Amino acid sequence: MTAPFDPTAESVCYLNGTFQPLSQCQISVLDRGFIFGDGVYEVIPVYGRRVFRADAHLERLVRSLNAVEMANPCTREDWLALVREVIARNAQDDQCIYIQVTRGVARRDHVFPRGVEPTIFMMSFPFPHIQADKRANGVACITAPDLRWRNGHIKSTSLLGNVLARQLSAEIGAAETILIRDGWVTEASASNVWVVRNGRLCAPLRDHDKLEGIRVSLLEELSTEIGVKLDFRPIAEWELRCAEEILLTSATKEVLPVTSLDGRRVSEGRPGAVCQSLYAAYQAAKDVQSS
């Protein structure tokens, strides 16, 4: 018998003050992250060992902590130093840094505990580059009702609604589940959604129903750079269904074309010009905006 393959064995993590292999990281079962999903997180892309838009990610982490009334346990400089140390201790040049902060370990009680230290966890995983054929041909998505809570703007570890939504697409081999609430597009299970209509790039309004991805302000910059007009406005489900292009963005997907929706082709079923230009601009931005 050979030992089961452990893809995580070499990964070095940070947990509450010490660096250790992932397989040795342990937390109490009373951790409120485990018991209640009472925590927040970030996923930060790293290219060539340089962090992409670090400040924006760390600022969002602070916004999430504030939103759930948790004190920020580190200064910006401390966060950055920890992130850099985790990067240095792991083998890959392109990584994703996952940060999770929970309200800590306490007797099970819904009420916030007093005087409890937060749990701070950071791990690295190899950057999951999208396969070349998916980049070239685009991916399939399905739609589903957005049944999650109304605080999607908080990057909370309470992701059961997102998990259930994502499972729907995974089961039929699709890449994402695009969520619709009351006839309007919100986002996808783990990505932001964009459409191209009449040559203009459109993104749903930035509000509490959805997470404002770090790529939202980035695409705002990049659309100006490539000369495409961008509107933030409500996007109706019917507009999604007849869009010229549909795009997904996230830390790991970067800018990804959707070429099939609920089993029907999006336009010609090929990645569109806006998506291709934005992807190229994104690749260039990685060089200049990583540090």
Catalytic sites, residue numbers: 155
Residues 4-33 binding ligand PDD (CB under 6 A) are: none
CB of 181 to ligand PDD, least distance (A): 13
Cβ–Cβ contacts within 10 Å for residue 39, how many? Answer: 26
64 interacts with ligand PDD by CB under 6 A: no
**CB of 113 closer than 8 Å to CB of 168:** no
100 interacts with ligand PDD by CB under 6 A: no
**CB of 15 closer than 8 Å to CB of 25:** yes
Of 64, 100, 191, 289, the one binding ligand PDD by CB under 6 A? 191
CB of 190 to ligand PDD, least distance (A): 4
192 interacts with ligand PDD by CB under 6 A: yes
Q: Which is nearer to ligand PDD, 100 or 105 (CB)?
A: 100
Considering only CA atoms, which of 164, 172, 182, 188 is closest in space to residue 246? 188
**CB of 192 closer than 8 Å to CB of 249:** yes
Question: What is the spatial distance between Cα 276 and Cα 257, in angstroms, rounded to a whole number?
Answer: 8
Residue 240, φ and ψ in degrees, nearest 5: -60, -40
**CB of 179 closer than 8 Å to CB of 187:** yes
Q: Which is nearer to ligand PDD, 65 or 105 (CB)?
A: 65
Q: Which is nearer to ligand PDD, 46 or 106 (CB)?
A: 46
Q: Which is nearer to ligand PDD, 217 or 291 (CB)?
A: 217
Residues 123-152 binding ligand PDD (CB under 6 A) are: none
**CB of 271 closer than 8 Å to CB of 137:** yes
190 interacts with ligand PDD by CB under 6 A: yes
Tally: H helices and E strands in the chain: 8, 15
252 interacts with ligand PDD by CB under 6 A: yes
Q: Which is nearer to ligand PDD, 40 or 228 (CB)?
A: 40
247 interacts with ligand PDD by CB under 6 A: no
Compute the residue count for the chain: 291
Total residues at interface with ligand PDD (CB under 6 A): 14
3-state secondary structure of 220: helix
CB of 82 to ligand PDD, least distance (A): 19
162 interacts with ligand PDD by CB under 6 A: yes
95 interacts with ligand PDD by CB under 6 A: no
Question: What is the spatial distance between Cα 220 and Cα 214, in angstroms, rounded to a whole number?
Answer: 11
User: Amino acid identity, residue 150?
Assistant: R
CB of 131 to ligand PDD, least distance (A): 17
Q: Which is nearer to ligand PDD, 31 or 212 (CB)?
A: 212
CA dihedral 137, 130, 202, 245 (to 10 degrees): 10
Residues that bind ligand PDD (CB under 6 A): 43, 162, 187, 190-192, 211, 213-215, 249-252
